[in-house]
Structure 1
Amino acid sequence: MNSPIVRIVSVFAGILIGFGITWGLFFLSKDRESTEQVQPNNPEEISSSDEIVETDSTNSLNLNEPLVIPDVITKLDIPQDLFDQKHAIAKWVVSLDEDQILSWLEQSTQAEWNVSTSFRTEFQTALIQKLSLSSPEEALEFAAARIEPVRSSLGSIVIFEWATNDLDGAIAYVKTETVLSELDRSWVLHSILQSQGGLSLEQQKEIARQLGDEAYAITFYFQSLLTTKIDDPKTVWYDIVELAVPDNRQHSDTLEAVAKAWIEQAGLQIFDEISASITDNIILQSVAFSVLMDHADIEEQTEEAFEYTFKLHDDFPWKGFILRSIVATWASNDYMAVLNRAETLPPSGYRQFLIEQGYREKARIEPKDTLENLDSLPPGLLESSGQIAIRELTKQSPNDAVDFVMRLEDKELQQQLATSLVYTWRNKDLEATKNWILGMATDEPLRDALLAPLANSLVATDPRLAFELALQQSLQQNGENLNGHEASIVGRIAQTDIELAIELMPQVRDESRLATTTSIASALVGSGDSPRAIQFLNKLSESEQLEHYRNSVWNWIGTDSEGLKNNIATIKEAATRSAVAQMMIGLNSQTNAYSEAELESLEQYLSKEDKEMLEQWLQEAQP
């Protein structure tokens, strides 16, 4: 189980590599440490007349010169360049004996050594790594005396080196040594398992069992499979498939990685065996989607992924979702292949989806051809494919898109495609879009229809012009009512500039008055101004007020319950006040917005009929 590695010969290189192994780059060691930029120590002692500094300095990195190692680390001359710092640390450490390492480690914790946190960490890491080879007990004792995260960072290096060279000794020590606590168990066990490459799950579980946490071996095994090459995916699969826990992302990721490796080795048909071995549907659908989509992402394999998935039994988890996702990928690569495959299928939802997806992708890839041949599209696809094509053509050539729209004889289709054109073109050139629409004759029906999307496009940058354009558009039928688009524009303005919305309110057409008033009132409530909101609503008729309050009291309480309670008396109509109070009291069992005393004060606004109705309702609602 233990495969010792002789490292003394390669200490120099090993120390260089080991500098990156730390989690503590952002923390100081146990005592207060400086985070200032690394500077040469004692700059006042360096001058052109001070010849002795050149003699005693370790600044020279020439390996041919004799290396002078000071006993006190504050006398180390630290290079400015990061690579030179690493080189210097390696030269210093390789020359140290055990006593010197221990002395330097102790000195490195002192705040008087004015170096950056990252340099101090790399320095300690190199010392600990070398000390771990000769005296791991003392190295671990030093690490354990630090605070987190330096404690676990340095400790992990010690345990890894120790277990690499003497697994049994490392396990025996950590089982009995009191410098480690229960809180250290996870990083200790992780470092030991990490040091033992190539172990089976059972071997790892045996090590973890000795340290009192067999379950961690499973976690580690799953994690390690995500970062190693899997040579025998079938064996590994059967090792882990029964251990996987639903909704554990790491387990799912590992299963997916192993399944992909197995398919890569044995072919897609092996997924029959893979899926048959999964007993949990959540895991199965996750693995199936990941594996089959991964296969489909390679263009040469997309059709194979489709055919395999299509033949799965219909109750296979997520079959429809996976199949549609594969078709979307396939169509983006080769829409003609998708359309040709659709022709071979009997009438079904899958066949229809292939047809729709194929033509959508054709519209995206060949917008001009699609638009010129709209009449040849299958029934039901003209609008969706036409809109995709006009958007793509607008991105490529707005003038060509405009030319096509203006040539359309079908006025309903013309309006639909022109609207898509406007919403696409505005993102590229809003000014040109505006000029095109406003340049049409004022009696042109298409101009009137496009005033709404143009106003929507301008509301964020020029809200007054957006409002003016909305007023120019004719009233539109909405169910049984006629509405002006200015109500929508004012509602959007009110979300960012309530005063401007109020200023524009008098210009709103009568047909838009109710919708505009309620949208401004809602914006006022949202900004915590319930008194003004009630004033606005008082302008409505009693029936209009009642309708608005019934639709808004729940949200009003959630947004500004105090404002509504404190201003209910200002509601103009007594019947409306009574209805609002009734709703506030009746909903309180769910909102918990008001105390018993506040509920009692609200009862003064109830009419006799509403009070009796409320009492009856509350009595019936009791369990």
Structure 2
Amino acid sequence: MIRIKILPSTKALVLIITGVIVGVVATLTVWILANLSSSNPVQHQSDNYNESSPSIPPHSDDTLVSKVNTNSTDQIKSAVRQIDALEQLQNHFERRATLYTLVAPLSDESIAELLTRSEDQQWNLSSKIRADLQRVLLERLSSSKPIDAIQYVLDHSQDGSGIGAMLFWLFKDWANSNLAAAVENAKKLPTAIRKIAFEGILQAYTQETNEHHPQISNDFNLDKHFVKSLLDVLDFENLTDPDLVWFAVIDIVEQDLSFAPQLEGLAKQWYLSSGFDVLEGIRTSVSHYEMKVTLFSNLLRYITKSEPARAFDYIATQLELGLRWDTAPHVISEWATQDPSTAHDAVSNIDPIALREFLRKTVIETWALKHPEYVLQNLSNFHQETRTHAVTSAIESLTSESPDVAVSWVLQLEDDIDQFDAARALVSVWSQHDLNAALNWVQSESAIAEFRHFLYQTLAISMVSTDPSGAFELALTLRLANGGVGFEAEIVSQIATEDVELALTLLPKVRNGKSKGFAYEQVGDALVRSGEFKKAANLGTQLDESYHSSYYQYISYIWVNMDPDKLYAMLPDLPNAEARSKAAYALFVLYDGNDSIPQKKVESLDQYLTEIDRETLGPLAPTKDP
């Protein structure tokens, strides 16, 4: 894999290095031209030539250049002889400098011909010289015909030798001269090698615009498909400059949450390579809120594994309120798995109070899951506001593992409120696994006699999902609450959200009075929400007339928010005057102040209002203009 490495950008250093290279190349050029002026260059050996090296078999010029275009035959012959002479040079830098000098004056046709000849194994070149020659020829060809140079690499890549490196520097050089063309052609490459071209382009670009990262993606004019191809194959763990890739792609992908996992991996590597301070760069570069929440939640949770206090302090002191709410629970939950006591104490330093209490509960849930008995033994250490949460979380955790152990803890608790909270948590979880055992305990345990009634309610609620009819029958046996509403009405309400037809069959069994009125309203609500408006309207007629006003007022406000046009259309056909009046009342409240509603439509509501509802509306009641 090619790694992106950003070269030093100090101008002074670049000028010095450039000067040295130019001087050396000039000196070598003079030296080599002098040596190559002889009629038989192969026999002239430089001072650096190793006498013990095996001699290179002489070529037949006719063999090597038999197919050369007549206009460049002499040029090719001369080049072949000079390349042969390079076998005498052991210094790699000298050979490379000579090759650059040799190919500089050649025509594109001669370059192409030499590339073809360089593949001929009859030309006895060492592998190093052959590789150097091909690279120099490709560099030279890429300056005038980059597409031809790249196509040559692709056509000769079947052996896999050096294609990655070649493509990297070819696109890097091309980007230096024509960025737009380089990017456009990189997009056309096969997915497997496209990212290599991108890396070359990216490095070339940033060498000149290292201080303008945020503009990279705009200048590249990259599309999501291209960026996805890059991110899919990048090895984030070995990426040298993750910030470079980040700024190149963030403007394109930040509004597409499908890129979140890849950006998260990139952000993690950036953090690992550059430290905690990268958070500000990430925060300021992402404008899309949902992407920011996703990235920060996961990244800060990752950082919490090694720097929990610093990650939490960053949230508490640096993030705006919305982002604080969305990220803090993830961090505090991770911290609580490591050190719940310290995490619990740290929560005291965050605002607002509502978030603080929520995070305390989050810590307690994690703490109780891992060490439930410790939590129960130290209830006095918890704030009064979260003590109930500590009790219920710990008992729920214990009950899931061993109901018998949980029962023993319920009976040990001395505080009445703690014991009541613990017993409800026990029954709620236990009944999901073993309803009969939980029911037997509630019926027989003398220590819970004072609040046994409430535990039956807990049992009934738990039974709704598995035995709704049984839950209803159990609720019927319980005494009425202080407000006069039987618990069976609450059970019918819960059943209606899942099975409204079953709820309808249970309604006649609900005890009369407030219980029946409440139950009918809840089932009517469920019917309206499922679009069964006529059935909901007719359901109210089964109630005593004294409950019509309450019922139709309740469902009309649900209905007017679900489908006001349907309610208006059905007004004349509603089953009684109370139903029509409450519907008209709800529609008028909706239409009030809405200039898009025709005045005649508003005025038409008046005919359906009862005198009581018209008086309630007062001066707001719909009337015709004088």
For Structure 1 versus Structure 2, the TM-score category normalised by the shorter chain is 0.5 to 0.7
Residue 219 (structure 1) shift: 6.3
Which residue type is aligned with residue 571 of structure 1? P
Q: Is 1:263–2:271 an aligned residue pair?
A: yes
For 1:162 and 1:608, the matched residues in 2 are separated by 90
1: distance between equivalents of 2:356 and 2:603? 64
Where do 5+ consecutive residues of structure 1 fail to align? 1-157, 172-183, 206-212
C-alpha distance in 2, partners of 1:595/1:437? Answer: 61
Aligned counterpart for 1:241 among listed residues 247, 250, 254:
247
For each residue in 1:7-64, what CA deviation from the matched residue of structure 2 results, as whole angstroms up to 9, or x when unmatched? xxxxxxxxxxxxxxxxxxxxxxxxxxxxxxxxxxxxxxxxxxxxxxxxxxxxxxxxxx
Output one character per residue of 1:405-426: Cα deviation in whole Å (capped at 9) or x when no partner: 2344433332222111122112
Pair 1:520-2:494 in alignment? no
- The whole-number CA distance in structure 1 between the counterparts of 2:594 and 2:523 is 24
Distance 1:509 1:294, change over 3 A: same
Does 1:546 pair with 2:549? yes
- C-alpha displacement at 1:310, in angstroms? 1.8
2:442/2:456 contact within 8 Å kept: yes
**What SS class does the counterpart of residue 188 from structure 1 fall into?**
coil
Q: Could you report, residue by residue, the CA deviation over 1:239-268 in whole angstroms, capped at 9, with x for unpaired residues?
A: 6527632434477665544443243234x3
CA 1:490–1:219 in structure 2 vs 1: closer, same or farther (change >3 Å)? closer
Q: Secondary structure at the match of 2:250?
A: coil
Distance 1:200 1:364, change over 3 A: same
Q: Is the 8 A contact 1:531 1:567 kept in 2?
A: no
Q: CA RMSD in A?
A: 5.3
In the TM superposition, 1:8-157 aligns within 5 A as none
Identity across aligned pairs (percent)? 23
Map residues 398-409 of structure 1 onto 2, 5 A cutoff: 398-409=403-414
How far did residue 427 of structure 1 move? Answer: 2.3
Change (3 A) 1:458 1:530: same
Report the CA distance between 1:447 and its aligned residue.
Answer: 1.9
Question: Alpha carbons of 1:291 and 1:517: their partners in 2 closer, same or farther (altered >3 Å)?
Answer: closer
CA distance in structure 1 between the aligned counterparts of 2:426 and 2:221, rounded to whole angstroms: 59
By how many angstroms is 1:331 displaced? 1.4
Amino acid at match of 2:501: I
- 1:384 to partner: Cα distance: 1.1
Whole-angstrom distance in 2 between the partners of 1:450 and 1:387 = 14
1:556 corresponds to 2:564: no
Alpha-carbon distance in 2 for matches of 1:353, 1:583: 37
Counterpart code for 1:200: I
State the Cα distance separating 1:393 from its structure 2 match.
0.9
Q: Relative to 1, partners in 2 of residues 1:305 and 1:564: Cα closer, same or farther, differing over 3 Å?
A: same
1:471 counterpart letter in structure 2: L
Query: Normalising to structure 1: TM-score of the pair?
Result: 0.55
**Per the alignment, do residues 521 and 560 of structure 1 end up closer, same or farther by CA in structure 2, a change over 3 Å counting?**
farther
Rounded to whole Å, the distance in 2 between the matches of 1:550 and 1:434 is: 39
- For the Cα contact (< 8 Å) 2:315–2:328, is it kept in 1? no
Q: Which residue of 2 aligns with 1:335?
A: 340
- Pick aligned residue for 1:224 from 205, 221, 230: 230
Query: Are 2:374 and 1:374 aligned?
Result: no
Question: Deviations for 1:173-195, whole angstroms, at most 9, x for unmatched residues?
Answer: xxxxxxxxxxx999735657357
Could you tell me the TM-score, scaled by structure 2's length? 0.55
Conservation of the 8 A alpha-carbon contact between 2:242 and 2:267: no
CA contact (8 A) 2:368 2:375 kept: yes
The structure richer in helix per residue is 2
1:441/1:525 CA distance change after superposition, 3 Å? farther
Residue identity matched to 1:485 = F
Q: Distance in 2 between matches of 1:380 and 1:265?
A: 42
Q: Which residues of 2 match residues 340-419 of structure 1 at below 5 A?
A: 359-419=364-424
- 2:450 aligned residue: 445
Aligned position for 1:292 = 300
Distance of 2:187 and 2:308 partners within structure 1: 42
Counterpart residue number, 2:489? 487
- 1:492–1:163 CA distance, 2 compared to 1 (3 A): farther
- Report the Cα offset of residue 511 of structure 1: 3.4
**Matched residues in 2 for 1:531 and 1:579: separation?**
15
In structure 1, what residue type is equivalent to 2:234?
A: T
For 2:425, the equivalent position in structure 1 comes to: 420
Partner of residue 505, structure 1? 508
Contact residue 505 and residue 516 of structure 1 kept, 8 A:
no
Number of residue pairs the alignment of both structures matches = 437
* CA distances 1:423-466 after superposition (whole Å, capped 9, x unpaired): 21122222222222234579933321111111112234333321
Matched position secondary structure for 1:476:
coil
Q: Contact 2:227–2:249 (CA<8 Å) still a contact in 1?
A: no
Task: Select which of 215, 225, 242 maps to 2:221.
Answer: 215
Shift in Å at residue 551 of structure 1?
3.0
Other-structure match for 1:474? 479
* Equivalent residues of 1:475, 1:484 under 8 A apart: yes
Quick check: 1:387–1:417 contact (8 Å CA) kept in 2? Answer: yes
Report the AA paired with residue 427 of structure 1.
Q
Label 1:321 to 1:488 Cα distance change in 2 as closer, same or farther (>3 A): closer
Spell out structure 1 runs of 4+ moving beyond 6 A: 184-187, 340-343, 345-355, 588-592, 594-603, 608-616, 618-622
User: How far did residue 215 of structure 1 move?
Assistant: 1.5
Question: Relative to 1, partners in 2 of residues 1:248 and 1:342: Cα closer, same or farther, differing over 3 Å?
Answer: closer
Compared CA separation, residues 189 and 615, structure 1 to 2 (3 A)? farther
After TM superposition, give the deviation of residue 494 of structure 1 in Å. 3.9
Give the match for residue 540 of structure 2: 537
Deviation per residue, 1:520-561 (Å, 9 max, x gap)? 333444566555544442355666433332332243353697
CA distance in 2, matches of 1:399, 1:515: 38
* Corresponding letter in the other structure for 1:369: Y
The structure-2 alpha-carbon separation of the partners of 1:458 and 1:160, relative to structure 1 and needing over 3 Å to count, comes to farther
Cα distance, 1:332 vs structure 2 = 0.8
Please tell me whether the aligned partners of residues 338 and 354 of structure 1 are also in contact (alpha carbons under 8 angstroms): no
Q: 1:163 to 1:264 in 2, by over 3 A?
A: farther
1:398 Cα deviation from its structure 2 partner: 0.5
Q: Is the 8 A contact 2:588 2:622 kept in 1?
A: no
Q: Where does residue 581 of structure 2 map in the other structure?
A: 578
Letter in 2 for 1:453: T
1:199 matched residue in structure 2: 200
